[in-house]
Structures are given as C-alpha cells and as structure tokens.
Amino acid sequence: MYEGILPLWKEKGMTSHDCVFRLRKILRMKRIGHTGTLDPDVEGVLPICLGRATKTAEYVTDAGKTYEAVVRLGRATETEDASGETVEEDLSDKRIPADEVRRVLASLTGNIVQTPPMYSAVKVNGRKLYEYARKGIEVERPSRTVTIRRMELLSGPELFEGAEPGFPIRVECGKGTYIRTLAVRIGSELGYPAHMESLVRTASGSFTAKDCLTLGEVAERQEAGTLTDAILPLERALAGFPFVEADPGLLRQVLNGQVLDAHPLLEENARIVFTAGYRAVAVYRLHPEKPAKMKPEKMFGPPMEERENK
C-alpha cells in the first residue's frame, strides 16, 4: 500500500481514467485518484494521488498548469484540435511576423473569457458537452473567466509564412483553461481560422516533467521494489499554502476538527496547513459564517506508517 503523490507522464492514446485503471492493477490498491483530465491526444504531467493523499487532489487540480502547444493557422476544426473535421479554411499565402504573434499573445495574457468547446467534458443539464456533440446537438455553453498568467512564443523564425504556418507557444494558466480554444482565439486575433495541432502539459502545480514516470516505468519499479523512492509526500501537493507546526495543545484541537480563532496567515492566504512533526494533519480556511474564526476543510489523520504501527 502506497501513500503520497506519484507524478505520472500520461502518454498519448490513453484517458486519465485509463491511467488510474492501469495503476490500480499495477499497485494492487484501489484508493487512487488523478488530478485533472487530459485528452487522449495530449501527453504530459498527470499527478496521481495515492491513499490518504487523494484528499489533496482538488488542490493539485486547482493549481496552475504549464503547457507547450503548436498553433496551426489556415484551418479551424469542430474539435478545435487536429483530430476534428475541418469547419473553416483559408489556404491563402500568409506572411506573419513573429512580433505580431508576440503582440497577440501579450494581449491575451491576464483574465480572459472562454466558451468551452462542444467536444469537452463540461456538463450542461447533467450531460457532458461531447455527448451532445456526438449526436449533432448544439447547446448553449456557459462562458467563464480563466487566467492566463504567462504566454510566450518559443523558438522559431521571425516570419511565419505559407498556406498553413504554425508556431510553438508556452502557456502558464489557471484552472479550467482550454488551450485549444485559446489557439482558435489566437488565430482569430491574427485574422485566420486556426486549431491546436499538438499539446503537452509540462507542469501541474509544483510537479514537472522531471518528476514523472511512465506507466511502464512504474510497473518496472513496482516489480523491483523501488517505487517508493518515486512517490512524493502529500505535503508537496499543499506547497502553495503556508505550513504551521502545531504545539501539543493546538494539535489536540486541530485533530478534533474544532472551529478556532482565525490564524493571522489567513489574512493573505486562502488556506493554511497544520502539521505535526512537519507532516500535514489538516487544512484550515476562514469560516464562511463566523467572522474571525476558521474551520477545517480537510482532515488527513495520522500517516500510514503510524496507523500500521498501532
């Protein structure tokens, strides 16, 4: 039985659910959860939560992500990526300076409004949008504000030219951002139909590609008995919050899940993490109904090794 965060490199051709299904067989354990869906055509960082760390999944999902994508001009598709049928085409000869691309990327940095694509897992009236799309049913989709923290043009020529020029970008963004929808928006700002040709997630929260193992490598390490070395502590998933080591009196209150006077750190932070022996025991947030109070949002209980030694 394992506990912690296993940073997985999801390979193309698999869903995030496929990865969890395979890992349950490899690790011979059920308490496993992923931290944000990646489309089958997308590869990249997919942190997997094991054991008690499954309680931290929402924090990893809510953390920022970094992607590297190729935007291809000249053709728009029904899925907004390279797998879809063409719905608009402009194969005229194009000459687009790299500085013009950089200008557009800068203009889309910050908070922008996106409408989720029809081929997505967003639910409308209890059904996922792609279920409607596969039946040819168009439904009204709720727009939402997403955050683009940084966007840059990666290496390439200073002039993109031809009927279907493409260029690589890196995007650092918040939760819920659709990079393929962003690719279409970039094309629109440049004056052409566009789609996302390829996409790789290079970071999820504090987890990066260098932390990751493929499913094949996980199986090899499991067989060799060395997988534990690759599993990171659940505290890594909480790295965006301040940690407070609780003294014995406070620890008793925290372990009992008591409502407490708000900690000063909550003036500038959404949550704080109480630790015992520098191991997370609870996440606290401001109480929504009681001013100047705080309440537990997640309770982790003792680490697995302590439970096993009882």
Q: Does residue 108 sit in the same domain as residue 192?
A: yes
DSSP alpha helix (H) spans, 214-286: 215-224, 248-255
Q: Does residue 176 sit in the same domain as residue 75?
A: yes
As a whole number, mean pLDDT of residues 19-28 equals 96
Q: Look up residue 212 and give its amino acid.
A: C
Q: Does residue 159 sit in the same domain as residue 229?
A: no
Q: Which of 77, 289, 103 is nearest to 197 (CA)?
A: 77
Report the alpha-carbon distance of residue 225 to residue 248 in Å, rounded. Answer: 37
CATH code of the domain covering residue 17: 3.30.2350.10
Mean pLDDT of the chain: 91
Considering the entire predicted model, what is its pTM?
A: 0.88
More confident residue, 155 or 58: 58
Q: Does residue 119 sit in the same domain as residue 197?
A: yes
pLDDT(309) > 60 = no
Q: Which of 13, 38, 59, 18 is nearest to 200 (CA)?
A: 38
Identify the domain containing residue 168 by its residue range. 65-204
As a whole number, mean pLDDT of residues 66-88 equals 94
Phi, psi of 20 (to 5 degrees): -65, -45
**Given this model, what pLDDT does residue 133 score?**
73
Pairing of strands 271-276, 243-245: parallel
CATH code of the domain covering residue 304: 2.30.130.10
**Given this model, what pLDDT does residue 301 score?**
74
CA dihedral angle for residue 278, residue 204, residue 120, residue 198, rounded to 10 degrees = -170
**Given this model, what pLDDT does residue 130 score?**
74
Q: Does residue 146 sit in the same domain as residue 264?
A: no
CA-CA-CA-CA torsion sign (169, 105, 172, 8): negative
Q: Could you say which of 18, 39, 247, 261 is catalytic?
A: 39
Q: Does residue 76 sit in the same domain as residue 88?
A: yes
Q: Does residue 257 sit in the same domain as residue 297?
A: yes
pLDDT digits (tens, 9 = 90+) for 236-282: 999 999 999 999 999 999 999 999 999 999 999 999 999 999 999 99
pLDDT(22) > 60 = yes
Q: Does residue 298 sit in the same domain as residue 284?
A: yes
Q: Does residue 73 sit in the same domain as residue 194?
A: yes
Q: Does residue 111 sit in the same domain as residue 138?
A: yes
**Given this model, what pLDDT does residue 118 score?**
66
- The tokens describing 40, both together, are 């089958």
pLDDT digits (tens, 9 = 90+) for 99-146: 999 999 999 999 999 987 766 666 777 777 777 777 777 777 778 899
Report the alpha-carbon distance of residue 303 to residue 171 in Å, rounded. Answer: 36
Q: Does residue 49 sit in the same domain as residue 140?
A: no
Percent of the chain with pLDDT over 70: 95
**Given this model, what pLDDT does residue 141 score?**
75
pLDDT digits (tens, 9 = 90+) for 201-245: 999 999 999 999 999 999 999 999 999 999 999 999 999 999 999
Q: Does residue 225 sit in the same domain as residue 193?
A: no
Residue 39 annotated as catalytic: yes
Which residue, 236, 258, 286, sits at the end of a domain?
Answer: 236
* Total number of domains in the chain: 3
Report the alpha-carbon distance of residue 139 to residue 135 in Å, rounded. Answer: 11
